[in-house]
Copies of this chain bind each other. A is one copy, B any other.
Amino acid sequence: MNQYVFLNERFIATENAGISFRDLAFQRGYGMFDFFRVYNGIALFLEDHLDRFYASAKNMHLPVKQSRNEMRSIIYELIQRNQINHSGIRITLTGGVSPDGYSIAEPTLVIAQQHFQPCTEEQFKKGIRLMSYEHQRQLAHVKTVDYLMAIHLQPKLKAIGADDILYYTNDLVRECPRANVFVVTKEDQIITPSQNILKGITRNKVLGLASKDFLIAEKEITINEILSSKEVFITSSTKEILPVMQIDEVVFRADNNVSQALHKQLQRLIQEYSLVTAE
């Protein structure tokens, strides 16, 4: 079965979807994207993702030809054409094919769907191990294509057996390259940073769920605070919620009750969303 992508103004077979090597994303790293899951044929939290996509595009000085309605139609036509259960859709927008290789041109738009398996119960139980690294993402509030540092650090991660990176700056916790970070304090308060980070859609959903049963705060967390907290977990569209079992040499011996409870609530929210949207 052929798979399609939407490239600029039309659907084409994936194998024919070539990008120019003069594209500003390829030559200058100038591009942005958004990514959301497709669950039971429904684009999860699509309006939140479109909000962020259009905001990122504006911030990057990249005009989007498609109206919001057109974007929704394209996304659902792509889902209809490809028929992939358990998938994700990535909308990428770049500076386009620049005549001088530097100035923003007519943006390139790629909407592509790919297979995607959510984390298993076992992966949740196992949790993840983070390596801290001092780094501040540029244009942190925009979902840019800039993962240079994260990918550059992969061999180091593997060498020490860590799963992901925890960025911090001036002793303050920021985020993982593709996820937000939460701590549960010994007083059962739930805290997540709000400055100089990308505000994830799952982060916002989890904050909403947590506020019903916990005191929540969006504020700075120091490295010392995170290392002495009761529970740490990360959130993202692909990972939902995952407990952090270790940061550098510090092992958390947490029961992860809070992340477990919130994970169940998030999964319920996802199911409800897909049912209500399908009607």
Contact = CB atoms under 8 A, between A and B. Distances in A.
Interface in A1-60: 5, 7, 17-31, 33, 60
A147 interface: yes
A152 B5 contact: no
A30 B23 CA distance: 14
Contacts of A185: none
A155 to B, nearest CB: 6
A248 to B, nearest CB: 21
A154 interface: yes
A112 interface: yes
A147 B21 contact: no
A112 B21 CA distance: 9
A146 B147 contact: no
A102 interface: yes
A215 interface: no
B29 A25 contact: yes
Contact of A104 (B30, B90, B138, B154): B154
Contact of A21 (B17, B148, B152): B17
Copies in the complex: 2
Interface in A130-153: 135, 138-139, 144-152
A102 B236 CA distance: 15
Contacts of A94: 26
A200 interface: no
Of the listed residues A23, A112, A114, A148, the one surrounded by the most CB atoms of chain B closer than 10 A to its CB is: A148
Contacts of A19: 18-21, 23, 26
Interface of A: 5, 7, 17-31, 33, 60-61, 90, 92, 94-95, 101-104, 110, 112, 114, 135, 138-139, 144-152, 154-155
30 contacts: A5-B21, A17-B20, A18-B18, A18-B20, A19-B19, A19-B26, A21-B92, A21-B110, A25-B25, A26-B26, A26-B94, A27-B33, A27-B145, A28-B145, A28-B146, A28-B147, A29-B144, A29-B145, A29-B146, A29-B147, A60-B152, A61-B154, A90-B101, A102-B147, A135-B138, A138-B138, A138-B149, A144-B148, A146-B146, A146-B148
Given A61-B155, A139-B148, 10 more contacts: A7-B21, A25-B29, A27-B90, A28-B151, A29-B29, A29-B146, A30-B148, A104-B151, A135-B138, A138-B138
